[in-house]
A = this chain, B = another copy of it.
């Protein structure tokens, strides 16, 4: 391959780097919505890559609805409200405040997920949830797989709501959180915390099995809040919900 001088860092693949660079420029407000991007050739020159690479990068951004390309005219950046995809910046989650906000969102989704699941879950759903619970409290208790089982538990509940979008959103948020705090759980595997974690899951399961929506929701909310603090994230500004 010819040696070309690139103005951006290394490691990742070229199209991804270009896409990230453009994405940051757009998110950062350097390019305002409605404005036209430089031509593909200009971008290729600017980044020191071929036009093909630029096109692949733009293809990604276009799929997200971040920019719109019109043949013969150019590429334009779209308003952030009409994105066709949700993407969470892994880098941003290193900021504690962002992580807190994501946990707050998770708390909302999971609480309602448990509430709905308690009212709707079938015996098959309960079996799946129980299976995940057993994996968590069983032999994999302190192993790496317990994290996997934990996610399985929450996903099984989300599936029991019968709402595929709730399942998708919760899976997504949980996965983002997991990948960002993976280290925290590994460096802090205090056994008593694990016990607490398992106990909270049992309480949730009991409420689900009893088909008690309110109890399930409250147990889940306490669990998520507890899980957050266990990984060093404090959910601030708790509010009175009038319950």
Inside 8 A of A119's CB, which chain B residues have their CB? 237, 239-240
- A105 located at the interface, meaning its Cβ lies under 8 Å from any Cβ of chain B in the complex: yes
Q: Is the interface of A mostly helix, strand, loop or mixed?
A: helix
Nearest residue (CB) in B for A215 is B242
A81 touches B166 (CB 8 A): no
Pairs A-B, 6 closest by C-beta atoms = A214-B242, A119-B239, A60-B63, A56-B59, A86-B86, A108-B112
Interface positions, chain A 175-202, Cβ under 8 Å from B, are 175
Tell me how far the C-beta of A36 lies from the nearest C-beta in chain B, rounded to whole angstroms: 19
Report the copy number of this chain in the oligomer.
2
Nearest residue (CB) in B for A240 is B213
A217 to B63, CA, bound (A): 34
* Interface pairs (29), CB distance under 8 Å: A56-B56, A57-B59, A59-B59, A60-B60, A60-B63, A81-B151, A81-B155, A81-B171, A83-B172, A83-B175, A84-B87, A84-B88, A85-B87, A101-B162, A101-B164, A101-B165, A104-B166, A108-B108, A108-B166, A112-B112, A115-B239, A119-B239, A120-B237, A169-B169, A213-B239, A213-B240, A213-B241, A213-B242, A214-B242
Inside 8 A of A80's CB, which chain B residues have their CB? 171
Inside 8 A of A120's CB, which chain B residues have their CB? 237, 239
A16 to B241, CA, bound (A): 45
Provide the A92-110 mask, 1 if CB < 8 A to any CB of B, else 0. Answer: 0000001001101100110
B105 touches A169 (CB 8 A): yes
- A150 located at the interface, meaning its Cβ lies under 8 Å from any Cβ of chain B in the complex: no
- A126 located at the interface, meaning its Cβ lies under 8 Å from any Cβ of chain B in the complex: no
Inside 8 A of A109's CB, which chain B residues have their CB? 108-109
A105 to B59, CA, bound (A): 29
A217 to B59, CA, bound (A): 40
Tell me how far the C-beta of A237 lies from the nearest C-beta in chain B, rounded to whole angstroms: 7
- 18 more A-B contacts (CB under 8 A) besides A86-B168, A214-B242? A52-B55, A56-B59, A57-B59, A60-B60, A63-B64, A81-B171, A82-B175, A86-B86, A98-B165, A105-B169, A112-B112, A116-B239, A119-B237, A213-B239, A213-B241, A214-B240, A214-B241, A243-B243
